């Protein structure tokens, strides 16, 4: 399964924000990486560079590589509605992302691993495909054998995030994907219109 496995803080510094979640290293050095990272006299970025950076930020945030991201964009482009918003909604509807949003894992990469290692069920059936697209009403749960895993227990104990479009039952250790989130319900700082402009060239 292809995914980015390189240094995360370096990528977060490149975008100027902690896109992978809380990061103490980023807080210490929140300027761009490299020899000239702290040099404020950097040249003005071109329109293309700004658009490309926004696309890269979205890809790294959701842990999606180029080919898959392009496929998601093509699907969003064919759908009814605003392409940029649909693109983010499709990213948010991925199983690995919903596992992360429900607090079963503290990071998207951790959520992807839980799904791949067969710890997660959808409507009672084991699903090990992180990119699986959920539909409103789907029930996402922790497999019975995996409910005692310390990593899952620790993540759920530390989680305080609440989203209107998902519910969580801590006794059953399962949640409901109530609806596809509206753009205003997605907290990610991504300018999706720039991505649409980039792919439309």
Q: Is the pLDDT of residue 76 over 50?
A: yes
CA 198, distance to chain mean position in Å, is: 20
Residues 110 and 56 in one domain: no
160 shares a domain with 193:
no
> Is 50 a domain residue?
yes
pLDDT score recorded for residue 71: 95
At 105 the three-state DSSP class reads coil
195 confidence band (pLDDT: 50, 70, 90):
very high
- Per-residue pLDDT band for 177 (boundaries 50, 70, 90) equals very high
| Cα-based distances in Å from 81 to 88, 89, 133, 134, 167 | 12, 11, 18, 19, 25
Regarding whether 132 and 117 lie in a shared domain, the answer is yes
- Residue 79 located in a structural domain: yes
Is 108 part of a structural domain of the chain? yes
Token pair 């596992």: residue: 99
- State whether 78 and 27 are in the same domain: yes
Full domain range(s) for residue 175: 94-179
Q: Indicate whether 2 belongs to any domain.
A: no
Same domain for 173 and 98: yes
Our CA dihedral for 30, 3, 196, 94, rounded to 10 degrees, sits at: -110
Which residues, in sequence order, are bridge partners of residue 125? 122
Q: Does 137 share its domain with 74? A: no
In a domain, 1, yes or no: no
CB atoms within 10 A of CB 30: 14
| Residue of 121, 87, 116, 110 lying closest to 199 (CA atoms) | 87
CATH code where residue 136 lies: 3.10.290.10
Reply yes or no on whether the pLDDT at 65 is more than 60. Answer: yes
CA distances 180 to 6, 113, 176, Å, are: 31, 23, 11
Residues 18, 48: Cα–Cα separation, whole Å: 23
- Please check whether residue 58 is in contact with residue 190, taking contact to mean a CB–CB distance below 8 angstroms: yes
What CATH number is attached to the domain comprising 77?
Answer: 1.10.1050.10
Residue 121 bridge partners (DSSP): 126, 141
Domain shared by 151 and 172, yes or no: yes
Cβ–Cβ < 8 Å for 180, 86: no
Say if strands 166-169 and 125-126 run parallel, antiparallel, or are unpaired. Answer: unpaired
**Would you state the pLDDT for residue 1?**
47
> How many domains are contained in the chain?
2
Do residues 84 and 13 share a domain? yes
How does pLDDT run across 110-164, given as a tens digit for each residue? 999 999 999 999 999 999 999 999 999 999 999 999 999 999 999 999 888 889 9
CA 196/CA 55 separation, integer angstroms: 9
Residue 3 in any domain: the answer is no
Does 116 lie in the same domain as 79? no
DSSP state of 20: T
User: Considering the domain boundaries, does residue 24 fall inside one?
Assistant: yes
In this structure, how many other beta carbons lie within 10 angstroms of the beta carbon of residue 200? 10
């Amino acid at each position: 399964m292809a995914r980015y496995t390189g240094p995360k803080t370096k990528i977060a510094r490149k975008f100027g924000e902690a896109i992978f979640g809380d990061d103490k290293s980023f807080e210490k050095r929140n300027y761009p990486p490299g020899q000239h990272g702290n040099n404020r006299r950097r040249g003005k970025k071109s329109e293309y560079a700004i658009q490309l950076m926004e696309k890269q930020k979205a890809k790294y945030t959701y842990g999606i590589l180029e080919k898959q991201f392009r496929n998601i964009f093509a699907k969003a482009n064919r759908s009814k509605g605003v392409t940029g918003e649909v693109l983010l909604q499709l990213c948010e509807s991925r199983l690995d992302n919903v596992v992360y949003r429900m607090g079963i894992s503290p990071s998207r990469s951790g959520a992807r691993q839980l799904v791949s290692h067969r710890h997660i069920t959808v409507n009672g059936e084991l699903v090990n495909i992180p990119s699986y697209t959920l539909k409103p009403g789907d029930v996402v749960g922790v497999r019975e054998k995996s409910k005692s895993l310390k990593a899952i227990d620790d993540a759920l104990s530390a989680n305080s995030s609440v989203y209107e479009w998902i519910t969580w039952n801590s006794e059953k250790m399962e949640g409901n994907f109530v609806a596809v989130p509206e753009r205003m319900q997605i907290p990610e700082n991504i300018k999706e219109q720039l991505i649409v402009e980039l792919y439309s060239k």
